[in-house]
Amino acid sequence: MNVLTEKTLSDVVKGIRATKRDTGLYISQCIAETKNEVRSSDQYTKANALEKLTFLQMMGYDMGWASFAAVEIMSSPRFAHKHIGYLAGCQGFSEQNSDEILLTTNLLKKELRGASSFGSSGVYEAGLAINFVANVVTEDLARELLPELTQLTRHPHPYLRKKAVLCLFRIFVKYPQGLRLTFERIQQSLDDTDAAVVSCAVNVITELSDKNPKNYLVLAPQFFQLLTNSSNNWMLIKVVKLLGSLVSEEPRLARKLLEPLATIVRKTQAKSLLYEAVLTITLALPYCRKADGSMPSNVPDIVDLCASTLKSFIVEDDLNLKYLGLVGFNSLMVSHPKVLSSSEYKDLI
């Protein structure tokens, strides 16, 4: 294939726009050309063909037949070609490509181990490999790569640490036993010096705790520290949700959460965080009663704060906010059924 006559991705996009009536025919011609190009011994030609196929795959055209070519380009020494190969693999590989995925195991191990602790040598190649694993991981691949990914959670570069932590979630989905083997590393990531790594660890633990929050009660002290020290609203939403799921397991935590959550309600301007903080307070209130049967002295003020905040949601014009306010009141009335009996809420009712 003559390099000068090959269509580039840009050419294909322009051609599709220019042939609106015969787009299907034009794309069929392009695919026929790429089938010849992927058989080429020239890496540039093969990489160019994969780049075009990756684009056409996003339009609904199958590229599974080019899987072996993708594996070959993934192992290219040129980063630009490697990037194309990994992207093609992410989009083109499926469960039907288990043989091709198995062929990448040694390559992936090499990429993950090749990230230098000094400088940036191999760092971005390892990043490509992590992204690929997260997209196509199988049980066998998860078991094989767990040690390398766990090791990368200690890497000096935060770029790799956060990617490795997030990828571990996908590993655990396919290989649940891996969670028991690496839970300590996930827990240590909550104390990472980089805020992005901490945020990734919080996201992973929040997703893992969705089915059985009780297993993560041991992390409550670290999450409470994040609740009181973090200023990242999106991470705080996750932290608040997880702590809210733990209050039924540990009543002392419910009482301890009231004041920090009330502080968030008073100070935050973010509607999403405001609602989650109020809702978590309403979930904690039923478990706040002390051993002697009394409630903490700050409960009446916090109940009034929640009620006034939920009222502000309901009086908004936005129907979504109105709905959230009603859901919040429904939860608040579990512990305080007479909260709406005040004359202040008669017009609201």
Provide the b/e sequence for 31-63 (b: ≥16 CB within 10 Å). Answer: bebbeebbebeeeebbbbbbbbbbbbbeeeeeb
pLDDT digit string (tens) for the chain, length 349 residues = 445 568 999 999 999 999 888 899 999 999 999 999 999 999 999 999 999 999 999 999 989 889 899 999 999 999 999 999 999 999 988 777 778 888 899 999 999 998 866 667 889 999 999 999 999 999 999 999 999 999 999 999 999 999 999 999 999 999 999 999 999 999 999 999 999 999 999 999 999 998 888 899 999 999 999 999 998 999 999 999 999 999 988 888 999 999 999 999 999 999 999 999 999 999 999 998 877 878 888 899 999 999 999 999 999 999 999 999 999 999 999 888 888 777 777 777 6
DSSP characters over 225-287: HHHHH---HHHHHHHHHHHHHHTTT-HHHHHHHHHHHHHHHHH---HHHHHHHHHHHHHHGGG
Query: What SS3 state is found at 8?
Result: coil
Prediction pTM value: 0.86
